[in-house]
Amino acid sequence: GNGVSEAFRPGEKAPALTVVVSDWEGYNRAKDVNAIGPAAARHLKQKYKARIVGWSSQPLRTMPEVPDDYYHRIDTATLANIFQRATFTIKASMYDARSTAPVEAMACGTTTARAIHLGDDDLYHGYNCLRCGYDLDALVDIAEKLVMFPEYRARLEANGLEYRRQWLDWGFWMDKAEDVITEKILASG
């Protein structure tokens, strides 16, 4: 499971439609190799005048004209701040075991439009996010739902905060890890 740092907590939302694109640069075959996250952001910027914030561990190369702000090798405090202020997050990748970006956003009270083939066991479509397959048209569709239905988005955010409280707390996972370690030490005599 994922544990989420206490640095990620709800904050004040930006007044304008603000979309954060996590891992803007697809740097390996499991990530956003077709740049559908940036392409969906470009659509939202053109159609809805959304403010686009991108971040990645890689320098900006893909669609550099789209993001209003871009962070390369972002620090925890800045990442928490952009998730707190975001209307929602876009995260696209082919595969991900348990991506931390959507659950960090969730802990900040921000839901995610998630495009993925397989993975992200903490994200439940229609409960704490909107999910689709790794497909640009489907990603644009779910992102537009988050724009057009703020009451629905608010319910996803509330569910995400409850899910984080129950399952994404470091204390919950550290207690489990400590139990395993203690059991192994006692068994070894």
- The 10s digit of each residue's pLDDT in 134-144 is 999 999 999 99
Q: Mean pLDDT in the chain?
A: 91
Of 32-46, 55-69, 156-170, least confident by mean pLDDT is 156-170
Among 4-13, 107-116, 169-178, name the one with the lowest average pLDDT.
Answer: 169-178
Helix (H) or strand (E) holding 13: none
Q: What is the DSSP annotation of the chain? A: ---B-TT----PPPSS-EEEEET-S--STTS-TT-HHHHHHHHHHHHH--EEEEEESS---SSTTS-SEEEES--HHHHHHHHHH-SEEEEE-SEESS-HHHHHHHHTT--EEEE-SEE-TT--BTTTBEEE-S-HHHHHHHHHHHHH-HHHHHHHHHHHHHHHHHH-BHHHHHHHHHHHHHHHHHHH-
What confidence category does residue 168 fall into, taking pLDDT thresholds of 50, 70 and 90? Answer: low
> What is the Cα–Cα distance from 146 to 166, expressed in whole angstroms?
24
**What values do phi and psi take at 19, rounded to 5?**
-115, 125
What pLDDT is stored for residue 26 in this prediction?
Answer: 86
Q: What is the pLDDT of residue 3?
A: 61
Q: Indicate if the pLDDT at residue 54 is higher than 70.
A: yes
Asked if residue 148 has pLDDT above 70, the reply is yes
- How do residues 32-47 score in pLDDT, each as one tens digit? 999 999 999 999 999 9
At 87-130, the pLDDT tens digits run: 999 999 999 877 889 999 999 999 999 999 998 888 999 999 99
Q: Which of the four pLDDT bands, split at 50, 70 and 90, describes residue 171?
A: low
Alpha-carbon distance of 17 to 150, in angstroms, equals 11
Per the CB < 8 A criterion, the answer to whether 41 and 21 are in contact is yes
